[in-house]
Chain A
Amino acid sequence: QKEVEQNSGPLSVPEGAIASLNCTYSDRGSQSFFWYRQYSGKSPELIMSIYSNGDKEDGRFTAQLNKASQYVSLLIRDSQPSDSATYLCAVGEGNQFYFGTGTSLTVIP
């Protein structure tokens, strides 16, 4: 059973702070890694994809991948109340994807 684990939270950070979301996965053969944001009552929205070790930055978001440790994280800088949502980590192998249960983030104004 391939597992993707996330701390369910809730994670609360003050506005303007850095939010750090973490995810571990069980299968070393995993090839692609994704972070999705899901607002309550809405479908997931792709924020970041990362395929190789290291950091990938896009605006206020930075994804970090460490395949040796089987760990992927998402940093959100200058957190805004609009970032309050559930963040889903997903791991892909070809056309198969495995999702974590999500981390609930609340940014406090």
Chain B
Amino acid sequence: GAVVSQHPSRVICKSGTSVKIECRSLDFQATTMFWYRQFPKQSLMLMATSNEGSKATYEQGVEKDKFLINHASLTLSTLTVTSAHPEDSSFYICSAIGGASYNEQFFGPGTRLTVL
């Protein structure tokens, strides 16, 4: 199956700082990547959809100036949480589609963000 990596797996930062999370498709070219957030014992919440070379499409209620997404290549998307606050603490998961399984979505392992 297709492999998606995320880095870092875990990050702790101080309130007011920015955090960048990388998502890479390792063995396929990802036409589209997705960013999700998941709070404990809650379901996945789609934050945004990004296509290589174009601006991300954000879901309603997600602040695009706070959650900056850059899909620089067919294998890399980044999510930057700017001016993080404790309420941004969550599990951030990326996923990607592309390759032979044209619309099967493969998830990265996730990044657990804790904002102090």
**A92 CB, min distance to chain B CBs, angstroms:** 6
A43 partner, pick from B31, B46, B101, B108, beta carbons under 8 A: B108
User: Is the pair A88, B110 in contact by a Cβ cutoff of 8 Å?
Assistant: no
The residues of B that contact A102 with a CB separation of less than 8 Å are 43
B residues contacting the other copy or chain, number (CB 8 A): 20
Q: Tell me the bound Cα distance from A96 to B104 in angstroms.
A: 11
User: Is the pair B107, A32 in contact by a Cβ cutoff of 8 Å?
Assistant: no
Determine whether B106 belongs to the interface, using a CB cutoff of 8 Å to chain A.
yes
The residues of B that contact A36 with a CB separation of less than 8 Å are 107
When A and B form their complex, what is the total count of cross-chain residue pairs whose Cβ atoms lie within 8 Å? 44
User: Is the pair B32, A44 in contact by a Cβ cutoff of 8 Å?
Assistant: no
User: Is the pair A44, B44 in contact by a Cβ cutoff of 8 Å?
Assistant: yes
- Decide: A99 near B44, CB < 8 A? Known: A42-B109, A43-B109, A46-B1: yes
- Decide: A97 near B108, CB < 8 A? Known: A44-B44, A88-B44: no
Produce 1/0 per residue, B61-104, CB < 8 A to A. 00000000000000000000000000000010100010001011
**B41 CB, min distance to chain A CBs, angstroms:** 9
Q: Which of A81-104 contact B (CB under 8 A)?
A: 88, 90, 92, 94-97, 99-102
Q: Tell me the bound Cα distance from A49 to B100 in angstroms.
A: 13
Determine whether A45 belongs to the interface, using a CB cutoff of 8 Å to chain B.
yes
User: Is the pair A95, B49 in contact by a Cβ cutoff of 8 Å?
Assistant: yes
Determine whether B105 belongs to the interface, using a CB cutoff of 8 Å to chain A.
yes
The residues of B that contact A46 with a CB separation of less than 8 Å are 1, 104-107
Produce 1/0 per residue, A27-60, CB < 8 A to B. 0000010101000011111100100000000000
User: Is the pair B108, A95 in contact by a Cβ cutoff of 8 Å?
Assistant: no
**B92 CB, min distance to chain A CBs, angstroms:** 10
The contact sample of 23 A-B pairs, CB cut-off 8 A, is A32-B103, A34-B105, A41-B91, A42-B109, A42-B110, A43-B108, A43-B109, A44-B93, A46-B1, A46-B104, A46-B107, A49-B101, A88-B43, A92-B103, A92-B105, A94-B103, A95-B31, A95-B32, A95-B103, A96-B49, A97-B34, A99-B44, A99-B46
